[in-house]
Amino acid sequence: MTDSQNNSGVVEPRGPKPRKIMSRRNIILYGTLLVVAIYYLIPLYVMIVTSLKGMPEIRLGNIFSPPVEVTFEPWIKAWSQACTGLNCDGLSRGFWNSVQITLPSVIVSIAIASVNGYALANWRFKGANLFFTILIFGAFIPYQIMIYPLVILLRDLGIYTKLPGLILIHSIFGMPILTLLFRNYFTTIPEELFKAARVDGAKFWGIYFRVMMPMSLPIFVVAIIMQVTGIWNDFLFGVIYTKPDTYPMTVQLNNIVNSVQGVKEYNVNMAATLLTGLVPLTIYFISGKLFVRGIAAGAVKG
């Protein structure tokens, strides 16, 4: 992280002068960071606090005050009773839909993209880079321009508004960034290993399964994290390529909270919002540095 670790062979006093803890610089530095951190944490705090209050308390108090009487009623209601349109079985339906969408999409998209990245990195053929360039361009083009032809395609295949259709869509649109991720990683693996495997007689798939895949577990974990959070958080594709029965969680959440009928139950809304955010947040807090690495790798182009 710092240079002092890098050149540890040098024998001279190094590093900054020891500083007082309460120097003016430190107060400004940590003061600013603390204020910003509080600003970032407020929405999470408000969500949690609101979801634990009863409706009367919300009407009387303010949104920042901690709950006087902690109740889990809103959570239960959000999970199993909140209404969207006609069906009133809560967010649980959306949750299971999202699970059914996310798992296969993640597996399919990563399987395809890793093989693609491997082909691009180690078995380059003429014209491969052209396709790759188009693919990367596709990541930046607004999805809106490709939405409708894909509706027609899915309708022709008979999977429009069904879960397999959405899985296909996620696999397609996950491909650019994942292929880039894998290609960049595989090019950093020393070529000697690849050559040695070839000399030993391994072919395309043999090298992939026996050499490349075992060596690149971290990047697979990064890709899984990226895809799970990305697909779980998706709204646009969910709202276009599914119908109320198969809505993923985000779409259902939006419908519950922004429905115009009935009395607004803010505590239930916040509980539902938290429930939806819980999956990516859990992944984020568990994965820590890998998450950061994933977004940085997805962002920094060749």
Partner 1 sequence: MISKAQLERLFVSSVMLAFASLAISIVGIKPQLFQNIQLLFLVIALISVLVLGVQSKTIQFNANRLKKQIIGWILSSFFSILIWSFAQKDVQSIFPAIKGYRKALNTLEPVAIYLSIVFILFALILAIVGARDSRLDRPGYIERTLVYNLSSKIAAIPMMLTSVGIFIVATLWTVYHSFTNSRMLPKSEFIGLAQYERLWNSDRWYMSIENLAIYGACSLVFSLFIGFLLAALLDQKTRFENTFRTIFLYPFALSFIVTGLVWQWILNPEYGVEKIVRSLGFESFVFNPLYNTDIVIYGILAAGLWQGTGFIMCLMLAGLRGIDQEIWKAAKIDGIPMWKTYIQVVIPMMRPIFITTLVIIAAGIIKVYDLVVAQTSGGPGISSEVPAKYVYDYMFSAQNLGQGFAASTMMLVSVLIVLIPFAYLQFGRRKYD
Please list every residue from 253 through 282 that binds partner 1, using CB under 8 A.
253-254, 257-258, 266, 269-270, 273, 276-277, 280-281
Which of 23, 32, 80, 87 touches partner 1 by CB under 8 A? 32
- How many C-beta neighbours within 10 Å does residue 161 have? 16
Please list every residue from 59 through 118 that binds partner 1, using CB under 8 A.
59, 62-64, 112, 115-116, 118
Q: Looking at beta carbons only, is 34 or 196 nearer to partner 1? A: 34
Q: Looking at beta carbons only, is 88 or 292 nearer to partner 1? A: 292
By CB under 8 A, residue 233 contacts partner 1: yes
Instruction: Tell the smallest beta-carbon distance from residue 72 to partner 1 (Å).
Output: 19
By CB under 8 A, residue 196 contacts partner 1: no
Please list every residue from 281 through 300 that binds partner 1, using CB under 8 A.
281, 283-285, 288, 291-292, 295-296, 299-300
Q: Looking at beta carbons only, is 86 or 145 nearer to partner 1? A: 145
Which of 18, 69, 86, 125 touches partner 1 by CB under 8 A? 125
Which of 55, 107, 159, 221 touches partner 1 by CB under 8 A? 159
Non-local CB neighbours of 227 within 8 Å, separated by 6+ positions: 102, 105, 106, 109, 110, 174, 178
Instruction: Tell the smallest beta-carbon distance from residue 280 to partner 1 (Å).
Output: 5
Please list every residue from 202 through 231 that binds partner 1, using CB under 8 A.
203-205, 229
Which of 78, 120, 166, 222 touches partner 1 by CB under 8 A? 120
Which of 163, 182, 250, 265 touches partner 1 by CB under 8 A? 250
Give the interface segment with partner 1, choosing from 69-77, 78-86, 89-97, 233-241 (CB under 8 A): 233-241
Which of 27, 37, 70, 103 touches partner 1 by CB under 8 A? 37
Which of 8, 22, 40, 86 touches partner 1 by CB under 8 A? 40
Tokens for 276, please give them: 């939806």
Burial environment of residue 125 by CB neighbours within 10 A (0 to 12, 13 to 18, 19 or more): exposed
Instruction: Tell the smallest beta-carbon distance from residue 250 to partner 1 (Å).
Output: 5
By CB under 8 A, residue 186 contacts partner 1: no
